[in-house]
Structure 1
């Protein structure tokens, strides 16, 4: 009973602190958590399918992800020495972008059509375009936050500060991978978008799936700052704390890179490791156009 009571009071304390730090983004996080619960219920009541999955699966995934992202930014922003006015502007843009995103995804789910990679009608194309613009604006704002904190480092423990920097950087790289999916026109490589996959996450059992690296990279925004914070708390030696966050960042970033390369090779996440020639082919496919561009510029 005492453990239950202590856990409940801890959760309440974190929620209260989150609201105190950033009321707007805390509200966005709470709203999306409620929406995730609503979508869970709708998945049981509405049996319509889209690409082999319940139509409400995608809104559920995005509501959970947006809730985590908004809560994370609500917690981090007050610690970054941005100033109250800038923090308020950043919070407003991020909050508005996330609300637009989940609204459009939910509307498309209610209509029983795809929200991403869908230009079959003028309406669907407009929705996809607005979503693309919204996420681009959100990415630019997060990039601006990173730039400001690099230019004017916040007064935090070095390991925690580096964890935030690395987490924001990996988040931005994963966002760029999202742009790659838009250019490619699909998250699937060498397999149909409606092929079988993991429950809820829907990561393909066969063929490459760019969503995996995208997912892992985006949530570096939670993992790496947490690693830096815990490293700073666990030891009073700055070098040791920095080593902890550096190792975690290297391993986590490596996992993101490996899942991305495997997806580009058309390999499912549970497939054997690709051969050296296959990896060499992918590296050549990426580097040769870059070398050609450099040669042309010269």
Structure 2
């Protein structure tokens, strides 16, 4: 009887410590970035200098917490997954640290092609960190996808499909440097810096953008599909959690196989959404200004996803009444 209250504590200690340390560092950077936004009025390419560190801190804190939770679940190959998670945590810490240092210096952390030795070193380290994070995630995805991970089939499928979406998001990030045109940016002190590329398609970086994200409202922006796919992992997990909560109220969802099929349909629809916003961005079209072709494709995607969900539920009803 006395062992039960201590079980949650033992569960928490299995959370991956390097990832938790990385998350803690992101929370510290988040606080620093908020203070920077309040007290530092410098602007870099149309955005406050501390906005980028803030966005990276939030994104990595969420992603790192999700990975730490997943690795606390029973699974095979724990030594390998722990090692890959440590690589990810270290690379994320270094890369986001570079983003913060460059923000403090009032210069660019991305696409910086300055010939100065310090800037060249920074860019090499940054590039190695990006590749390390992607490869570590890829190995983690492979190790966890070949086995069932999670309290039920729906959660396991959410993890599998979500990791696939996250890897897709990282790969889409490599589209950004390949599509942009070399140009010159100005530091907060007005010094020119050669840049190899940019985020926007069809318009220069630094133009009108959405609040906080700064996604372009006048042209395409490849940060949109990168973000949408990268955080598909959290979306799939939240969906599995929502379905589990609804199962207590709707008997049709109590079968975990039904919930797993619904997660699979949602993941397929979400992958279609990633493809849609990627196509939209590459056509130089802002997320906020879809044309009729984009709206038609979105409607078709939504309709197909709804029909597939209806088919899963209809089959479940027929099965339960036999």
Give the alignment's TM-score, normalised by structure 1: 0.81
- Distance in 1, matches of 2:205 and 2:107, equals 14
Structure 1 residue aligned with 2:48: 54
Is the contact between residue 48 and residue 112 of structure 1 (CA under 8 Å) also seen in structure 2? yes
TM-aligned CA deviation for residue 238 of structure 1: 3.0
Structure 2 residue aligned with 1:247: 265
TM-aligned CA deviation for residue 245 of structure 1: 0.6
Structure 2 residue aligned with 1:169: 164
Structure 1 or 2: more helix by fraction: 1
Structure 2 residue aligned with 1:284: none
Matched, 1:106 2:100: yes
- Distance in 2, matches of 1:84 and 1:67, equals 22
Moved more, 262-271 or 227-236: 227-236
For structure 2, the 5+ residue unaligned runs are 1-7, 180-196, 248-252, 298-322
TM-aligned CA deviation for residue 15 of structure 1: 11
TM-aligned CA deviation for residue 203 of structure 1: 0.6
TM-aligned CA deviation for residue 231 of structure 1: 2.9
- Distance in 1, matches of 2:9 and 2:211, equals 30
- Distance in 2, matches of 1:155 and 1:40, equals 35
- Distance in 1, matches of 2:268 and 2:162, equals 12
Matched, 1:128 2:123: yes
Per-residue Cα deviation, 1:210-249 (whole angstroms, up to 9, x for no partner): 0011111111111112323443552331332023212321
| Of 66, 87, 92, the match for 1:93 | 87
Alpha carbons of structure 1 residues 179 and 245: separation in structure 2 relative to 1, 3 Å? same
Aligned residue runs from structure 1 range 15-34, under 5 A? 20-34=14-28
| Of 195, 198, 203, the match for 1:186 | 198
Aligned residue runs from structure 1 range 149-168, under 5 A? 149-154=144-149, 156-168=151-163
Secondary structure of the corresponding residue to residue 72 of structure 1? helix
Per-residue Cα deviation, 1:26-85 (whole angstroms, up to 9, x for no partner): 221122112111111111111111001111111111011111111111001122614442
Aligned residue pairs, count = 265
Structure 1 residue aligned with 2:66: 72
Measured on the aligned residues, the alpha-carbon RMSD in Å equals: 2.4
Give the alignment's TM-score, normalised by structure 2: 0.76
- Distance in 2, matches of 1:179 and 1:193, equals 17
Structure 1 residue aligned with 2:301: none
- Distance in 1, matches of 2:129 and 2:174, equals 12
Matched, 1:224 2:236: yes
TM-aligned CA deviation for residue 182 of structure 1: 2.3
Matched, 1:148 2:166: no
For structure 1, the 5+ residue unaligned runs are 1-13, 280-298
